[in-house]
A = this chain, B = another copy of it.
Amino acid sequence: MKHIECIAIGNELLLGIVEEKNISWLCKRLTQAGGVVEQGVIVGDVPDDIEAAVRGAILRQAALVITCGGLGPTEDDQTMAILAEALNRPLEEHPEALAMVAERYRALYEAGEVPHPDLTPERRKMARLPRGAIPLRNTVGTAPGMLINIGDRTWVCALPGPPRENRPMVEQELIPRLGEIVPLHAYRERHYEAAVRDESVLAPLLQIVQRQHRDVYVKSRAAAFEAQTTFRLLLATRAPTAEEAEARLDAAEQSLRTILGEHGIALKTYSSHAPA
Cross-chain contact A73 with B200 (CB below 8 angstroms): yes
Complex interface residues of chain A between 9 and 53 (CB less than 8 A to chain B): 11-20, 23-32, 37-44, 46, 49
Total A residues in contact with B, Cβ cutoff 8 Å? 75
- Give Cα A206 to B74, complex, Å: 8
Complex interface residues of chain A between 122 and 154 (CB less than 8 A to chain B): 122-123, 140-142
Cross-chain contact B15 with A217 (CB below 8 angstroms): yes
Cross-chain contact B40 with A41 (CB below 8 angstroms): yes
Cross-chain contact A219 with B12 (CB below 8 angstroms): yes
- Of all chain B residues, the one with the shortest Cβ separation from A162 is B222
Interface residue A203 (Cβ < 8 Å from any Cβ of B): yes
- Give Cα A176 to B42, complex, Å: 26
Within 8 Å by CB of A13, from B24, B43, B234, lies B24
Complex interface residues of chain A between 185 and 217 (CB less than 8 A to chain B): 189, 197-204, 206-207, 210, 217
- Give Cα A50 to B132, complex, Å: 34
Cross-chain contact B220 with A74 (CB below 8 angstroms): yes
- Give Cα A114 to B201, complex, Å: 9
Within 8 Å by CB of A72, from B43, B201, B222, lies B222
- Give Cα A142 to B72, complex, Å: 45
A222 to chain B, nearest CB (A): 5
Cross-chain contact A15 with B189 (CB below 8 angstroms): yes
- Give Cα A227 to B74, complex, Å: 21
A264 to chain B, nearest CB (A): 10
Cross-chain contact A41 with B44 (CB below 8 angstroms): no
Cross-chain contact B13 with A27 (CB below 8 angstroms): yes
Mark contacts of A72-98 with chain B using CB atoms, 8 A cut-off: 1 yes-contact digit, 0 otherwise.
Answer: 111110000000000000000000000
Within 8 Å by CB of A39, from B32, B41, B76, B199, lies B41
Chain A residues within 8 Å of B, Cβ to Cβ: 11-20, 23-32, 37-44, 46, 49, 56, 72-76, 108, 111, 113-115, 120, 122-123, 140-142, 160-162, 164-165, 189, 197-204, 206-207, 210, 217, 219-222, 224-226, 234, 236, 274
Q: Which 5 A-B pairs have the closest CB atoms?
A: A16-B28, A40-B42, A16-B27, A122-B200, A113-B225
